[in-house]
Structure 1
Amino acid sequence: MNHVLLIDDDVELVGMFAEYLEQEGFSVTCMHNGEDGARAALTGGYAIAVLDVMMPGAGGIEALRQIRAGSRMPVLMLTARGDDADRILGLELGADDYVAKPCTPRELTARVRAILRRTQAVPESGPGVVLSVGKLTMLPEQRRATWDGQHLDLTSTEFNLLEVLARNAGRPVSKNDLSEQGLGRPLARFDRNIDVHLSSLRHKLGPLADGRSCLQTIYRQGYQLIKE
C-alpha cells in the first residue's frame, strides 16, 4: 500500500509535494485542515500521513491526537525549522518522525520511503520468527508485541526501535545505529528523536523483577535492552 495522505493548509506547497510523490509512484490525497485530515486518516485507507503542525483551527497537534486515539498508522510531521517544542510534543504524542520546513519534495519523499520501508519490511530472520527477551515477545512478521502476555500498543517507529534492541538484547546499540535501522536515516546533529521514542517505550514496557526499566541508557554507548 503506497497511498499517502498530505495534511497541510498551504495549498501550493501540498500540490508540489503531491506532484513529486505521484511521479515517484505514490497515490496521494490532500487535505487542508486538521479536522478533515484526521477524519480521513482514521478511515484506514492510507499507508502514511504527512501532517503539518502549524495549521489554523484544529492544528496538526490536535489532529495527531485524534489520529493516535484510533490508529497506529505512521505519521510524519512537518515542523518549522528550529521549533523543538512542537517537534518533541509531536513525538511524545506518537508521531514517527519529522521533517523541518522548508524542505524539498525529494527530501520529503525520501523520509516517507524510509518510514514505509521499515513498516512494510519482511523480517530478516524469515517468516514466523518470534523474538523473546524476558517478558517481551515480538512477532515481526505480524508487527505485534506483548509484555508478560499483554498486548503492547506501539507506533510503527516504536516497534522498529524495540525490534532492533530485541535483536541485540544484552548489548548496547548506539543512537546512530538505532536511527539507521529503526528510522531508516542517519542521526542528525542535536536530534532528540531517538531519546523521545525510547522514553515512550520505557513507559509502555513493564519493569524488571527488581523494579528497574528493561531499557537502560549506557553512557556514551547508546541504549540496551536488558536480558533477564
Structure 2
Amino acid sequence: MSAGKILIVEDEPKIAQLLVDYLERDDFTVSVLHEGTDAVETVKSEVPDFVILDLMLPGKDGLSICREVRQFSNTPILMLTAKVDEIDRLIGLEIGADDYVCKPFSPREIVARVRTILRRVQQVPAPQTDDIVHYREVTLQIDKYECTVSEQRIELTPVEFRLLHGLMERPGRVFSRDQLMDICYADERVVSDRTIDTHIKNLRKKIEPSADRVLVHSIYGVGYKID
C-alpha cells in the first residue's frame, strides 16, 4: 500500500532520482517533472498528496508554481532552494510554501520532513465542539480543514489553519511567538520569529477583508491574540 503520492519538480536529474529512490524505499508513489511549465496542470490532474518543488526551474520558477497551486489547492509544498537568504524564505512563506530545505541536503531529511508534514496535515486537531470551532464571523470545520468568514470560504494553508485554530481556541489570550511556533510546527523545528510574523500577516490578508473588524491583534513585544 502506497504511503502517498509525491510530485517532485526538480530540474537536476541526479537530485530528482536520489529523492525518488529514497521516497520509493519508504513506500511513496513518486512522479517527476524536470521543468516547471506543466507543474500546475500536473498538480490539478494527478492530485498528489505532497509536492517537492525546486525554486529555480526552467519554464516556470518554483515561486510562481507555488502561488498558482495555492489558488486551488492546500497540498503541502516543500521547496528546495540553493538560496539561503531570509528574504527568499519569507517570499516563499507568503505564497504558501509549508517548509524549506536548502541544498545540499540529506535525502533522509527530506523523507522525514515529508512524513512529518503529512502526519500533521492528516491529524485532526482536537475539536472544540463537534469538530467545529466558531468565533465571531470565523468558523473552522476541523475534520475538513475548511475555514469560512462571514459564510465566505477562505483558502488557508495547513500552517495558517493550525495557527488560526490555536488562536480561536483561546480568544483574548495572548500567545507568544514561541507558543505559536509550537502550534504550527509539531516537529519542534527551528524557525525564526519572522516566520510567525509572516504567517500572521498572510492570515490577516485572507480573513480580515471578509470580517466586520480586525480579528488578529499584535501585542507589542509579546505576541498575538484573536479578539
For residues 130 and 28 of structure 2, the distance between their equivalents in structure 1, rounded to whole angstroms, comes to 29
Whether 1:224 and 2:205 are equivalent positions in the alignment is: no
Tell whether the 8 Å contact from 2:174 to 2:225 is kept in structure 1 after alignment: yes
Counterpart in the other structure of 2:151: 149
Deviation readout 1:170-211 (Å, 9 max, x if unpaired): 2122323322332333352546322211101111122775x4
Structure 2's unaligned 5+ residue stretches are: none
Give the letter for the 2:109 counterpart. E
Secondary structure of 1:43 counterpart: helix
**Aligned partners of 1:76 and 1:95 also within 8 Å:** yes
Separation in structure 2 between the aligned mates of residue 132 and residue 41 of structure 1, nearest angstrom: 32
* Matches of 2:73 and 2:90, distance apart in 1: 20
Which residue matches 1:140? 142
Matched, 1:74 2:76: yes
Where in structure 2 are the equivalents of 1:133-212 lying within 5 Å?
133-186=135-188, 188=190, 190=192, 192-206=194-208, 211=213
Which structure 2 residues correspond to residues 6-17 of structure 1 after superposition, within 5 A?
6-17=8-19
Candidates 113, 116, 120, aligned match of 1:114? 116
1:36 to 35, 38, 41: 38
Q: Please report the TM-score for the alignment, with normalisation by the length of structure 1.
A: 0.87
The count of corresponding residues between Structure 1 and Structure 2 is 224
The whole-number CA distance in structure 2 between the counterparts of 1:62 and 1:81 is: 16
What is the rounded CA distance, in whole Å, between the counterparts of 2:112 and 2:194 in structure 1? 20
Deviations 1:53-72 (A, max 9, x none): 01223111222233223322
Question: Are the equivalent residues in 2 in contact too, given 1:51–1:77 (CA < 8 A)?
Answer: yes
CA RMSD for the aligned pairs? 2.2
Give the TM-score normalised by structure 2.
0.88
1:44 shift after superposition: 4.6
**In structure 2, distance between residues paired with 1:135 and 1:66:** 27
Q: Which amino acid aligns with 1:73?
A: T
Could you tell me how far 1:119 is from its partner in structure 2? 1.3
Measured in 2, the distance between the counterparts of 1:164 and 1:26 equals 31
2:37–2:58 Cα contact (<8 Å) kept: no
- The share of aligned pairs that are identical, in percent, is 36
